[in-house]
Amino acid sequence: MSFGETPITVIGNLTADPELKFTNSGHALAKFTLAATPRVFDRESNQWKDGTSTFFRCSAWRALAEHIAGSLAKGSRVVAYGRIRQHNWQTPQGENRSMLALEIDDIGASLRFTTVAIDGKHTTSTAPSADTWNTADTSTEAGNEPPF
């Protein structure tokens, strides 16, 4: 990352499957949108409610782009790290436009609400186990104690 760039980490959900394209020179480009929605507690109703979503248009290049397209899908909850980029253009009517986008440097599945299995090629989401602590070998002295 260069001096003066604006790094950002966004936690959110993909709004659609990533779109994978290739440039004329053969470089992979993945484009997708992340929705980051805060949860706020409403004391009047005594319930959690969704706040206003912020949408980030994202892009990733080369091997990362191919990994994203092969691993993530609509609804995937991710932790994405990248740099804010401003894109400027002019409409056919001569109006100047700009938008902020997120160029992804690294991305991973969020483990807050699910588990994943990584086999070296793919990541598979699974529902959390009903008994997450019962992983110790029962033949040891630790029995069913947590592994730490």
Residue 2 lies in a domain: no
Q: Tell which residue, 14, 114, 118, has the closest CA to residue 58.
A: 14
Q: Is residue 63 part of a domain?
A: yes
Residue 103 lies in a domain: yes
Q: What pLDDT, on the 0 to 100 scale, is given for residue 4?
A: 78
The reply to whether 147 falls in a domain is no
pLDDT at 6: 85
pLDDT of 1 reads: 60
Q: Is residue 34 part of a domain?
A: yes
Rounded CA-CA distance 65/24 in Å is 16
Question: Quick check: is 72 in a domain?
Answer: yes
Q: What is the pLDDT at residue 74?
A: 97
Q: Residue 32: which residues within 8 A CB-CB, separation 6 or more?
A: 14, 15, 16, 17, 18, 19, 58, 68, 72
Q: Which domain holds residue 57?
A: 7-112
Write down the pLDDT at residue 121.
Answer: 60
Contact indicator for 14, 108 with CB cutoff of 8 Å:
no
Q: Cβ neighbours of residue 107 under 8 Å, at least 6 residues apart?
A: 60, 64, 68, 72, 78, 79, 80, 81
Please report whether residue 92 resides in a domain: yes
Residue at 123 is within a domain: no
The CATH number for 62's domain is 2.40.50.140
pLDDT of the residue at 120: 66
Q: What is the pLDDT of residue 139?
A: 40
pTM reported for the whole predicted model: 0.73
Q: What is the pLDDT along the chain (148 residues), one digit of tens a residue?
A: 667 788 999 999 999 999 999 999 999 999 999 999 999 899 999 999 999 999 999 999 999 999 999 999 999 999 999 999 999 999 999 999 998 899 999 999 999 988 888 776 655 555 444 443 333 344 444 445 544 4
Q: What is the pLDDT of residue 104?
A: 98
**How many domains does the chain divide into?**
1
